[in-house]
Amino acid sequence: MRKKEFDSIDWEPKIIGFLCKWCSYAGADLAGSSRLIYPPSINIIRVPCTSRIKPHFVVKAFATGIDGVLISGCHPGSCHYVNGNYKARRRFSVLRRLIEFMGIDPRRLQMSWVSASEGFKWADVVRKATEEIRQLGPNRLFIEGET
């Protein structure tokens, strides 16, 4: 658990991104190699497919003080594993309800579809996610001494 004073001027959200290795990870790589500018607030975890993201991965991220989670994969109908992104989309809607039940604003969990050729879109997705989570402020649910 982390203990930190919230200073809205200096504070930057900490975001975990679970990215499909076939599409979104390649899109993020393209954004980087193209030297596109986007907030450095996201730490990427590459997964074989978005359908492999287990609910406890997301819950654990929030429990450790992460401010937001972004799940990004292949566009619907373009999954290398045929229907993995459809499974992920269904799991995403259940996960949003679960974290809301836990007391976490569901806007802290976001999903996007980014292909390998969409580096510009990836940069835009990260900018928008960072701004929305910045507006929400830090995830205080699991900070010591706060209720």
Q: What is the pLDDT of residues 78-111, one digit of tens each?
A: 999 999 999 999 999 999 999 999 999 999 999 9
Confidence tier at 127 by pLDDT (50, 70, 90): very high
Closest CA to 45 of 64, 62, 11, 69: 69
Q: Say what percent of the chain tops pLDDT 70.
A: 90
Q: What is the CATH number assigned to the segment(s) 15-136?
A: 3.40.50.960
Mean pLDDT (the chain) is 92
Tokens in use for 19? 């990215």
pLDDT the model gives residue 74: 96
pTM value? 0.90
pLDDT the model gives residue 40: 95
pLDDT over 50 (residue 46): yes
